[in-house]
A = this chain, B = another copy of it.
Amino acid sequence: MTRPDYMAQALAEAEAAAAAGEVPVGAVLVDAASGAVLARAHNLVERTADPTAHAEMLAIRQAAAELGAPRLEAAELYVTLEPCPMCATAISFARIKRLVFGAYDPKGGGVDHGPRIFQQPTCHHRPEVIGGVREQDCGALLQAFFQARR
């Protein structure tokens, strides 16, 4: 059976963020075995006045609350942008199995750029990482958002 296109769902979240005036990043957390969606979220920094309200953080917190456990060993995270160091560390703490992201983020990313969190010797859990999935669609959303604000 073909699995749903989770990155398309993360992109839909990112589009909802853009429509709400938030930086357009979306995330979907999925149970790797069943394919069930555990949580969906998009950036909410402005609306909630919360500097930690990135899509990944909200999805992780939501799924952990629903499962009643701080570790999500069976989960895959789909996110439209390379996670920042805060989110990458949270992904490691949550023991997420696989990270799939869209656009690379040379300026703010913490997975393939900057501190490369999962490559630090002090990082205790490294997810499998797949970057560049629907990279152009994910990046185009961000570019359009920031161009409109200049």
Residues of chain A at interface, number, CB under 8 A: 41
Q: Which of A13-21, A30-38, A42-50, A139-147 contacts B (4 or more CB under 8 A)?
A: A42-50
Enumerate chain B residues within 8 angstroms of A72, measured Cβ to Cβ: 51
Enumerate chain B residues within 8 angstroms of A121, measured Cβ to Cβ: 114
A18-65 contacts to B, CB under 8 A, are 45-46, 48-53, 57, 60-61, 64-65
- Once the chains bind, are A114 and B120 in contact (CB under 8 Å)? yes
Residue of B nearest to A93 (CB): B51
* Residue A8 is within 8 A (CB to CB) of chain B in the complex: no
Residue of B nearest to A67 (CB): B49
**How near does chain B come to A2, taking the closest CB pair, in angstroms?**
31
6 pairs from A and B in contact (CB 8 Å cutoff)? A49-B69, A51-B70, A52-B60, A84-B89, A89-B89, A113-B122
Residue of B nearest to A107 (CB): B122
Scoring A113, A114, A116 by chain B CB atoms within 10 A of each residue's CB, the highest score goes to: A114
* Residue A117 is within 8 A (CB to CB) of chain B in the complex: yes
Enumerate chain B residues within 8 angstroms of A52, measured Cβ to Cβ: 52, 57, 60-61, 90, 93
